[in-house]
Amino acid sequence: MPALTRNKKKGAKLQTETPPLNRRTKSNTAPAKSHKPPLKKQRKGISYEKPEVVSNDDEEEEEEEEEEEEEVSEQSDEELGSDFSSEEEEDTEPLADDFLGGSDDEEEEGTLGSSDSDSDGSDLEKESKAIDEEREREERDAKDELQMNIKEQPDEFRLPTKKELEEEASGPPDLPALQTRIKEIVRILSNFKDLRPEGVKRKEFVEQLKADLASYYGYNEFLIGTLVEMFPPVELMELIEAFEKKRPTSIRTNTLKTRRRDLADVLLNRGVNLDPLSKWSKVGLVVYDSQVPIGATPEYLAGFYMLQSASSFLPVMALAPRENERVVDMAAAPGGKTTYVASLMKNTGIIYANEMKVPRLKSLTANLHRMGVTNTVVCNYDGRELPKVFGQNSVDRVLLDAPCSGTGVISKDESVKTSKSANDIRKFADLQKQLILAAIDLVDAESKTGGYIVYSTCSIMIPENEAVIDYALKKRDVKLVPCGLDFGQAGFTRFREHRFHPTLEKTRRFYPHVHNMDGFFVAKLKKMSNETKASEGDEPVETKEQAQLSSDDDEDDEPKQDTKVDENKRRTPISKPNNKGDKNKNTNVEGPRKQKKKRSQWKAEIAQAREDKRKVMRKNTKEPGRK
């Protein structure tokens, strides 16, 4: 066998000898000599690449090669000398085996090794040239391969088939694979026109993205579905990534006891690394790190500052209470916002701090006392009862930081990812709607300095934010005013099938990936008058009808509206201001009979109008169908 291989090799070598020989004879000796030092390196490199290939059988071949190479080496320059021969040896051994394997490289090395005698310089030149060419070829091949790989992946990206999905589902999730798939889908979705593979609908990509995000980041279906509806893919990724990290800790200076500069000095001495929060706040400080626990310094205990997230400053800044005002905080615990309000009011006026849950009352009172707030009355009611307790139209400003699903503060509480469902959101939304009506009823529209309600949530869901404000706009005589916060994104005026009042763009939304604070929503309402709007139903037909009727029957309408309103909301006090003088008294005496008649008339007319509208709608829907 070895003999056979030897012969083959030699034959092959002989065959391959000639072309390089021809090439080499053409070149000069001088350049060949100059090639030599690099030659050395190249040869070494090549030889070291294939040390494994050496085998025992080659020993005999080595000896033969050595003889040949020694001749060559003698003829070549002194520098190379023994190195050269050794290199040649090593080359030939791998060559011997690889030649049988039959790759491109081997052929070249075969030619290299086989360069026996003839002219020394030309041999060397040929060898060096061959080596150069080989290297170039390798590089080219490598580049091509790389490009091939790069191109192949996106072109070949396809959604996993059902079978693959089942396989994935059966085992633990493969996180790196999920992540690459997520990135790919986001990339495709962001430029769907150009990058879409044929025949695949956008919806399928979106569905797959939802599933992947849910399993990679740990969201439940509902939440990830709503987020996907609200944000474009790239922004969605930013948002989700931002939710994974914590927001920086921030503290608020208690201006009742100290100034920000002094506090910063003291804390720096204690070894706290801090900075002013941002240009929109004069009392905020952000804490990067601290040698002492920031919530247990003597300064904290003495009430010089409060640990509060930056987003919680915003509703109080929007509320902007003045001195000697009456303010209600309807959901006050643990008291960060209440104490901020008190410090803005400089302990004058009166604050009613209400909290429904008993366990949270302790922390509220403790914080109030710690911060040195003296103008506060703490009570324990359900917020919806407050208008009964304090009386309607009795205070100047109300702050309602409503209980919400907490989807904006996922970075603080990861359980929100999995625990919130559509039902929860709806329940919160109902509660918030009732609370905001109560808040509006508390405020006195004729207050000299006030008449404002600030509604805020730490959630980014539309049913809890814009929908609640829209409801309030419909149900009460209030209007939206600018919050006074120039940064922050404007609220939605429309979303999917919902259409909100255009002034909703005055509300403000804050996101972790844009503003580096918790997800938040703030809206500021001004109460225009103390009257409630007559039960404007959701159907515009009714309101039109009522408007027509009210234009027909001016005087009689008021008591009617009052009674209707009374049924709904126990609003006897409001009917009083509407009773002006004798006229109304007279009508009131006759009222019940007339009211009954007119009410029944009304109902008939309303029913008629509804029927008409339905007919029109049917016609409209039929026509497009026919077309």
Partner 1 sequence: MRPLDETETTVVFEKIFKFVGNNLKNIVENPSHEGPEPEPGRYCFRLQKSRVYYVSESLVKRATNVSRKSLVSLGTCIGKYTHAGSFHLTIMSLGLLAANAKHKVWLKPTSEMSFLYGNHVLKGGLGRITDSIVPGDGVVVFSMSDVPLGFGIAAKSTQDCRKLDPNGIVVLHQADIGEYLRDEDEL
Instruction: Compute the least distance from the CB of residue 450 to partner 1, in Å.
Output: 10
Nearest to 122 by CA among 43, 42, 23, 36: 23
Q: Does 100 bind partner 1 (CB under 8 A)?
A: no
Instruction: Compute the least distance from the CB of residue 251 to partner 1, in Å.
Output: 16
Q: Is position 401 annotated in a ligand binding site?
A: yes
Q: Does 271 bind partner 1 (CB under 8 A)?
A: no
Instruction: Compute the least distance from the CB of residue 342 to partner 1, in Å.
Output: 10
Instruction: Compute the least distance from the CB of residue 238 to partner 1, in Å.
Output: 37
Query: Cβ closer to partner 1: 145 or 323?
Result: 323
Q: Is position 331 annotated in a ligand binding site?
A: yes
Place of tokens 């987020």: 227
Report strand pairing: 494-495 vs 498-499. Answer: antiparallel
Alpha-helical segments (H) within 391-478: 416-419, 422-442, 466-475
Q: Does 177 bind partner 1 (CB under 8 A)?
A: no
Range 6-12, long-range pairs (CB < 8 A, 24+ positions): 6/60, 6/61, 6/64, 8/99, 9/61, 9/95, 9/96, 9/99, 9/110, 12/99, 12/110, 12/114
CA–CA distance, 335 with 313 (Å, rounded to integer): 12
Instruction: Compute the least distance from the CB of residue 339 to partner 1, in Å.
Output: 13
Which of 31, 154, 232, 391 touches partner 1 (CB under 8 A)? 391
Which segment (386-394, 400-408, 536-544, 581-589) binds partner 1 by CB under 8 A? 386-394
Which of 76, 376, 405, 459 touches partner 1 (CB under 8 A)? 376
Q: With contact defined as beta carbons under 8 Å apart, do 403 and 428 qualify?
A: yes
Q: Which two tokens stand for residue 620?
A: 């409209």
Which segment (132-140, 174-182, 357-365, 509-517) binds partner 1 by CB under 8 A? 357-365
Query: Cβ closer to partner 1: 448 or 619?
Result: 448
Which of 5, 119, 255, 375 touches partner 1 (CB under 8 A)? 375
Three-point CA angle 372, 351, 383, nearest 5°: 125
Which of 1, 3, 4, 296 touches partner 1 (CB under 8 A)? 296
Residue 134 one-letter amino acid: E
Instruction: Compute the least distance from the CB of residue 338 to partner 1, in Å.
Output: 12
Q: Is position 198 annotated in a ligand binding site?
A: no
As annotated, the active-site residues are 458
Q: Does 513 bind partner 1 (CB under 8 A)?
A: no
Helix (H) or strand (E) holding 604: helix 581-626
Q: Is 142 exposed, middle or buried (0-12, 13-18, 19+ CB in 10 A)?
A: exposed
Nearest to 111 by CA among 31, 39, 26, 12: 12
CA–CA distance, 34 with 124 (Å, rounded to integer): 10
Report strand pairing: 326-329 vs 284-290. Answer: unpaired
Maximum pairwise Cα distance, the chain: 136
Which of 142, 165, 175, 377 touches partner 1 (CB under 8 A)? 377
Q: Is position 335 annotated in a ligand binding site?
A: yes
Q: With contact defined as beta carbons under 8 Å apart, do 44 and 91 qualify?
A: no
Contact string 392-411 vs partner 1 (x = CB under 8 A)? ----x---------------
Q: Does 485 bind partner 1 (CB under 8 A)?
A: no
Which of 187, 370, 412, 474 touches partner 1 (CB under 8 A)? 370
Query: Cβ closer to partner 1: 378 or 429?
Result: 378
Q: With contact defined as beta carbons under 8 Å apart, do 407 and 340 qualify?
A: no
Q: Is position 334 annotated in a ligand binding site?
A: yes
Which segment (47-55, 387-395, 403-411, 574-582) binds partner 1 by CB under 8 A? 387-395
* DSSP, residue by residue, 271-295: TEEEEE--TT-SSEEEEEEESS-TT
Contact string 298-317 vs partner 1 (x = CB under 8 A)? xx-xxxx-------------
Under rule CB under 8 A, which residues in 247-266 are in contact with partner 1?
Answer: 266
Which segment (147-155, 271-279, 313-321, 345-353) binds partner 1 by CB under 8 A? 345-353
Which residues contact residue 463 at a Cβ distance below 8 angstroms, ignoring those fewer than 6 apart? 425, 426, 429
Which residues contact residue 91 at a Cβ distance below 8 angstroms, ignoring those fewer than 6 apart? 43, 46, 47, 109, 112, 113
Instruction: Compute the least distance from the CB of residue 443 to partner 1, in Å.
Output: 14
CA–CA distance, 121 with 35 (Å, rounded to integer): 10
Q: Which two tokens stand for residue 626?
A: 């026919």
Asked if the peptide bond before residue 334 counts as cis, ω within 30 degrees of 0, the response is yes
Helix (H) or strand (E) holding 47: helix 29-49
* Number of residues engaging partner 1 in binding (CB under 8 A): 40
Q: Is position 105 annotated in a ligand binding site?
A: no
Q: Which residue(s) pair with 250 in the sheet?
A: 286
Query: Cβ closer to partner 1: 230 or 266?
Result: 266
Query: Cβ closer to partner 1: 85 or 297?
Result: 297
φ, ψ at 529 (rounded to 5°):
-155, 165
Q: Does 18 bind partner 1 (CB under 8 A)?
A: no
Q: With contact defined as beta carbons under 8 Å apart, do 399 and 337 qualify?
A: yes
Q: Which two tokens stand for residue 190?
A: 């962001």
Query: Cβ closer to partner 1: 39 or 330?
Result: 330
Which segment (6-14, 63-71, 143-151, 323-331) binds partner 1 by CB under 8 A? 323-331
Query: Cβ closer to partner 1: 331 or 364?
Result: 364
Which segment (116-124, 361-369, 491-499, 528-536) binds partner 1 by CB under 8 A? 361-369
Query: Cβ closer to partner 1: 384 or 533?
Result: 384
Instruction: Compute the least distance from the CB of residue 372 to partner 1, in Å.
Output: 5
Which of 280, 381, 495, 602 touches partner 1 (CB under 8 A)? 381
Instruction: Compute the least distance from the CB of residue 484 to partner 1, in Å.
Output: 23
Place of tokens 């071949």: 61
Which of 363, 419, 600, 601 touches partner 1 (CB under 8 A)? 363
Instruction: Compute the least distance from the CB of residue 319 to partner 1, in Å.
Output: 16
Q: Does 368 bind partner 1 (CB under 8 A)?
A: yes
* DSSP, residue by residue, 475-519: HEEEEEE--S--SSEEPPSEETTEE--GGGGGSEEE-HHHHSS--
Which residue numbers belong to the known binding site for S-adenosyl-L-methionine? 331-337, 355, 382, 401
Footprint of partner 1 (CB under 8 A): 266, 295-296, 298-299, 301-304, 324-326, 346-350, 352, 361-366, 368-370, 372, 374-381, 389-391, 396
Which residue numbers belong to the known binding site? 331-337, 355, 382, 401
